[in-house]
Structure 1
Amino acid sequence: MDALEEIFGKTAQMTVLKNLIAHKEESTYLSGIADETGLSHSSVARVITPLIKSDIVIEKPLGKQIRTFRLNLENEKTKLILDFYDRLNKM
Structure 2
Amino acid sequence: MDKLEKIFGKTAQMTVLKNLIERQNEPTYLSGIAEETGLSHASVSRVITPLVGSGVVTEKPFGKQTRIFQLNMESEAAKLIVDFYKKINQTEIEA
Per the normalisation by structure 1, the TM-score is 0.98
RMSD: 0.4
Pairs aligned (count) = 91
- Tell me, in whole angstroms, the C-alpha distance in 1 between the residues paired with 2:9 and 2:30: 22
The aligned counterpart of 1:57 is 57
Q: What letter corresponds to residue 50 of structure 1 in structure 2?
A: P
The aligned counterpart of 1:36 is 36
Moved over 4 A (4+): none
Q: What letter corresponds to residue 40 of structure 1 in structure 2?
A: S
Shift of 1:64: 1.3
Higher radius of gyration, 1 or 2:
2
Helix, strand or coil at the partner of 2:61: strand
- Tell me, in whole angstroms, the C-alpha distance in 1 between the residues paired with 2:38 and 2:83: 26
Q: What letter corresponds to residue 81 of structure 2 in structure 1?
A: I
Unaligned runs of 5+ in 1: none
The aligned counterpart of 2:4 is 4
The aligned counterpart of 2:26 is 26
- Tell me, in whole angstroms, the C-alpha distance in 2 between the residues paired with 1:24 and 1:30: 15
Q: Given the alignment of the two structures, is residue 47 of structure 1 paired with residue 47 of structure 2, yes or no?
A: yes
- Which has the larger helix fraction? 1
Identity within the alignment, %: 68
- Tell me, in whole angstroms, the C-alpha distance in 2 between the residues paired with 1:29 and 1:79: 21
Unaligned runs of 5+ in 2: none
Per the normalisation by structure 2, the TM-score is 0.94
